[in-house]
Structure 1
Amino acid sequence: MKKILILFLFVGFNLAAQTNTYEISFENAAHHEAVIKAHFPNVKSRDLTVRMSRSSPGRYALHEFAKNVYGFKATNSKGEELDFTRTDPYSWKVQNTDGEINIEYILFGNRGDGTYSQIDETHAHLNIPATFMYAEDLKDRPIEVDFDLREDLDWKVATQLKKISGTKYSAPDLYYFMDSPTEISNWSEREFEVDGQTIKFVLHHLGTEEELDQYFDQVQKIVLQEKQVYGELPDYDYGEYVFLACYLINASGDGMEHRNSTILTSTRSLENGGMKGNIGTVAHEFFHCWNVERIRPEGLEPFNFSETNMSDCLWFAEGFTSYYDGLIRARAGITENEDYINGLAGTFNYVWNSPAHEYFNPIEMSNQAPFVDAATSVDPTNRENMFISYYSYGSVLGLALDLSLREKELNLDDFMKKMWNKYGKTEVAYDVEDIQQTLSDYAGKEFADNFFSNYIYESEMPNYQELLSSVGVKLEQKNDDPYFGARLTTKDSTVYISGNTVKGSPAYEAGLDKGDEIVSVNGKIVTSEEEIQEMMTGNQNLKITFRRYDKEQTTELKPGKNPEYTISIDGNAKKEAVKKREAWLAKK
């Protein structure tokens, strides 16, 4: 017994000697600053490089978090300052003297969303890669973090990290730590049990407890309906999943999935439109705890904190999730079926009418993620003509696949279950060919090869008119109204083209471009978009005078036919189609 006790004490001591620890405090929260201290024991190398991440789990673009770090210093076990050098903009190479390295720095953070950190006297909203330095050489070590709370602000900690005691939490390794956003504030909480696991909803807002109760009822419905798609919840690492919602005016609208939690941020309070406007993000992000977090594209593994990962599969990972976030709300009774059907038109028109099909298929659109997923640049882009969001593209393809499968007496739910059982529960990363093979196993090789060859490897569009008709839904061109083909904005009675003109549109063919000021149409001075629309009646050619770079020019524009469609329930649909529609949208 004595030997066992000695062995236990030795193992415990050795684990502590190999654990990296952090402490973060918020005395200067009023000015968006946190002070962070880190302790790296038992460092064997002559020096240790610590760095700030350049990427964040769930985001696909680079983010330069190091720009908000200053006041850096390093010491050894005796408190003696250590020399360090900057080998690149993101790293600090610290000289080791006695095997123990302590660092301290100040972090500025003032963006509350799914990527960055925000520190003020309302909360400390922490995305870990934007907050804590790390040592790549020590990434496999366990981590402990102590959140030094502002007791005067009644702050509490909400996170997927494992609680040790008090304000101390732990992670088994660097990856789990970086994947664990934390909301520190005076939040409210609701929870319920599902098959022996706990679903928590933490909300930081200025609303009432009654509003939270009403909203949480919708959250529960979404959780249960999404569970029905896969037949079960994932096994959460500590037996619970936590929504970290922050609906405050100082937040920025966003949602970001993580392994056992998700960030939800919005400027809309539950009272001011948030009850309806925010619930879609809840549905989207929770669906990710299967699709993305565990059914995981190989391009995202292993996640690289110093560069960006590129995936071929975001049309499936994000796009099919987007398809389900609307469908689930209908199944849960949160959205009326008619509203859900009508709402399909916005995404459909965006994808259907885009000229970008000429350049990229869904796989290649997924490859564009590092340039568009909250990425920033100062030079203009031509996204209107060469990019379709993989969220939207994948969503309408998910709709097409679901309705195509239903024509064979199959459905997308059961296909997603197959992906879950093969790649999610096993946590074996998949690629595009794996999705195709799983579809082949489920629906037949000919069906799968046809879908992938036409719509995934190529950028053709399915026959949505036939597919929607099969479930008693009409797809109709809006009307014969004349179509200008450019986004117009009026400022101080001056009309500008405010976005790139879309290739093939009347404005594009007339040579008009973003930034052009429309001076007159057919010799008449115009001061609003409405005046231009009124002058297009009759589809007559328009003589347009416009100003570009302070020089007036003229061109002739031939109005086109409005390319947009409406999607609506067909009141004259056959009984068989109505029955299929009801099965598609029914609560599970």
Structure 2
Amino acid sequence: MTNKIPVLYLILCLGTAISTQAQMTFKVTMENPSGHLYHVSLQYSHAKKEDLDFKMCTWTPGFYEIVDFAAAVKDFKATTSDGQPLVWEKDSSTWKVHATNKDVLISYDVKAVEPFIGNVNLDENYGYIIPGGLFMYLEKELRHPVTIEMQPYSGWNKFVATGLDTIPGKSNVFYAADFDILYDSPLLMGKLEVFPSFTVKGIPHQFIGYNLGEFDRNQFMADLRKIVEHTSDIIGDIPYSHYTFLGVGHKGGGSGGIEHLNSASLLIGSKNLMTPGHKEDFYNFLSHEYFHLYNVKRIRPIELGPFDYSKENYTNLLWISEGFTDYYAFLGVRAAGLSDDEYVLKGLQQHIKNYEDVSGHLYQSAAAASRGIWTIRGNPFTRTDKERDSTISVYDKGCILGLMIDFKIRHETANKHSLDDVMKALYKKYYQKRKRGFTDQEFQKECERIAGVPLPEVFSYANTVTAVNYPKYFAYAGLDIDTAFKITPMQHPTALQYAIYTSWLHR
């Protein structure tokens, strides 16, 4: 996830044919989009006589903020499938439907007036759905299949853009193996531009955009392909069958996004977008969102999935999930030949300055900032002055910690290993083999195994507010750093320092 900017984002991924019967089936209509109301119906097939607690999410994965999605729900109704009214009552974000052993049909409207990537929006031009803000769930059904039938407004294109898989022979009917997949698969309807696609290792990649301004689409996609190629080479595996970048343009500057398993949602400021200086920042942003498909979606702290959608999901390790992703964004764009050494060094310098120039670094560790992200509305980029006095950004401290661990491993192994080996090992051991995330201790153990030595100092920088010895770690790669945090190559590095620097930036 990158910075929160109040505008819509899009998701489109090609569906694959799956035929699985689910007990929960949603249908969504939007007959008058200018009225900003989605109409949702849910049929739930069950046989046991019991009360049913239908719940709205209180947050959405990728953005660590409690949101009152339930407040947008209007005109809730509950009946049996044959039309008999059922008694229900609401408590906070839960609608309790009283006991029945018949199939249940509930329906409700959702007011959709939030043009922000972490919510739902609907107007005469497009409809965007973040599933956690629209679809209710039953606790016991969270790990079970669900189907979605979409009926876009008749004045729009007929197709629905989403990362969900399609059900064969049915138009705009989609399937998710469980609610974690559903809530990670936003849906978009409206007027979209499809850029020229490309393949990497035979896997299709698309970019779908809206209102993105004037620039060379072919050149842009050629550049994006390089980013995907070089970034995916870091892990050495592509874990999806299709990937789509979705972008919504706005006339200002700045970008923001939320990552998903096989797509990235992007807010793109069209002002000076592809001019020198701005283009590198834009590509760095794309690289960040793309690397998240590995780091946080698959290489993840154990607390981040399966999720509890009723409350905060705390972890000490967002400095890895977000900070390391910022670090690898720089490396991915540099490896693709779309930035230079100076751009990378200046970017790292800025992260250090962001951290050191506010008093929050005296009071909050990276681990504490990971847990505390919920208290600053999920977004370290918009902290108030008071918050900056007492908090830090997991992006800034985490990025530098990633670099320090990387340089330490390279130094201790005579440049035979790096942080890349840690990330690949975590991917294979915990995502592929154990099908889970890693604990705090398991992450440190993996770093120390690759380095061949204990790493108490660098991990003290993650878990305490100990002052960081930057010169020591930058020297491992033949880099000097002065008191203003300016980073420059040494004039006379050793052979090992030069080898580390070269293999680090010139992959």
TM bracket, shorter-chain basis: 0.7 to 0.9
Q: TM-score, normalised by structure 1?
A: 0.75
Show the counterpart of 1:154: 157
Against the structure 1 CA distance between its residues 425 and 324, is the aligned structure 2 distance closer, same or farther, given a 3 Å change threshold?
same
**Which residue in 1 is equivalent to 2:103?**
100
Q: Structure 1 pair 251/153, CA: closer, same or farther in 2 (3 Å)?
A: farther
Q: 1:260 aligns with which of 262, 276, 280?
A: 262
- Equivalent in the alignment of 1:163: 166
Fraction of identical pairs, as percent: 26
> 1:566 pairs with 483, 486, 493, which one?
486
Cα separation, 2, equivalents of 1:278 and 1:185: 25
Q: What letter matches 2:260 in structure 1?
A: H
CA contact 1:23–1:36 (8 Å) conserved in 2: yes
Measured in 1, the distance between the counterparts of 2:421 and 2:503 equals: 14
Amino acid at match of 1:471: A
- CA deviation after TM superposition for structure 1 residue 47, in Å: 2.7
Following the alignment from structure 2 to structure 1, what is the Cα–Cα distance between the partners of residues 218 and 37?
Answer: 34
Question: What residue number does 2:13 align with?
Answer: none
Q: Is 1:247 matched up with 2:255?
A: no
Deviation at 1:225, TM superposition (A): 1.1
Distance in 2 (alpha carbons) for counterparts of 1:441 and 1:98: 55
Task: Please report how far the alpha carbon of residue 271 of structure 1 lies from its aligned counterpart in structure 2 after TM superposition.
Answer: 5.2
Query: Would you say the 8 A contact 2:255–2:285 is kept in 1?
Result: no
Q: 1:323: Cα distance to partner?
A: 1.0
Structure-1 residue corresponding to 2:462: 456
> What amino acid is aligned across from residue 503 of structure 2 in structure 1?
A
Residues 490-569 of structure 1: pairs in structure 2 closer than 5 A:
564-569=484-489
Q: What does 1:88-237 align with in structure 2 at a 5 Å threshold?
A: 88-97=91-100, 99-154=102-157, 156-164=159-167, 165-189=170-194, 190-207=196-213, 211-234=216-239, 236=240
Instruction: Sort the Cα spacing of 1:266 and 1:48 in 2 relative to 1 into closer, same or farther, 3 A.
Output: same
Whole-Å separation in 2 of the counterparts to 1:168 and 1:120: 22
* Structure 1 residues 215 and 185: CA distance shift in structure 2, 3 A: farther
Q: Provide the residue aligned with 1:442 in structure 2.
A: 450
Match of 1:389 among 368, 373, 393: 393
1:3-82 map, 5 Å: 16=21, 18-82=22-86
Matching residue's letter, 2:123? D
8 Å CA contact 2:77, 2:107 repeated in 1: yes
CA positional deviation for 1:439: 1.4
Check conservation: 1:113, 1:253, Cα contact below 8 A.
Answer: no
1:21-65 alpha-carbon deviations (Å, 9 max, x no partner): 111122222232211121112252333221211011122221111
- SS of the counterpart of 1:425? helix
Instruction: Kindly state the Cα deviation for residue 277 of structure 1 after the two structures are TM-superposed.
Output: 4.4
The aligned amino acid for 1:213 is N
Report the CA distance between 1:127 and its aligned residue: 0.8
The separation in 1 between residues aligned to 2:345 and 2:254, in whole angstroms, is 29
CA contact (8 A) 1:29 1:120 kept: yes
Q: Deviations over 1:238-283 (max 9, x none)?
A: x222223222459995311222222222343685767554333321
Q: Which residue of 2 aligns with 1:523?
A: none
Q: Which blocks of at least 5 consecutive residues in structure 1 are unaligned? A: 1-11, 478-563
The one of the two structures with greater contact order (alpha-carbon pairs below 8 A, sep at least 6) is 2
Q: Deviations over 1:500-530 (max 9, x none)?
A: xxxxxxxxxxxxxxxxxxxxxxxxxxxxxxx
8 Å contact kept, 1:77–1:98: no
SS at match of 2:486: strand
State yes or no: 1:403 paired with 2:407.
yes
**Is the 2:474–2:481 contact (alpha carbons within 8 Å) kept by the matching residues of 1?**
yes
Choose which of 439, 458, 483 in structure 2 pairs with 1:431: 439
In 2, distance between residues paired with 1:329 and 1:272? 15
Consecutive unaligned residues in structure 2, runs of 5 or more: 1-17
Q: Please report the TM-score for the alignment, with normalisation by the length of structure 2.
A: 0.86
RMSD (Å), alpha carbons: 2.8
Whole-Å separation in 1 of the counterparts to 2:342 and 2:141: 54
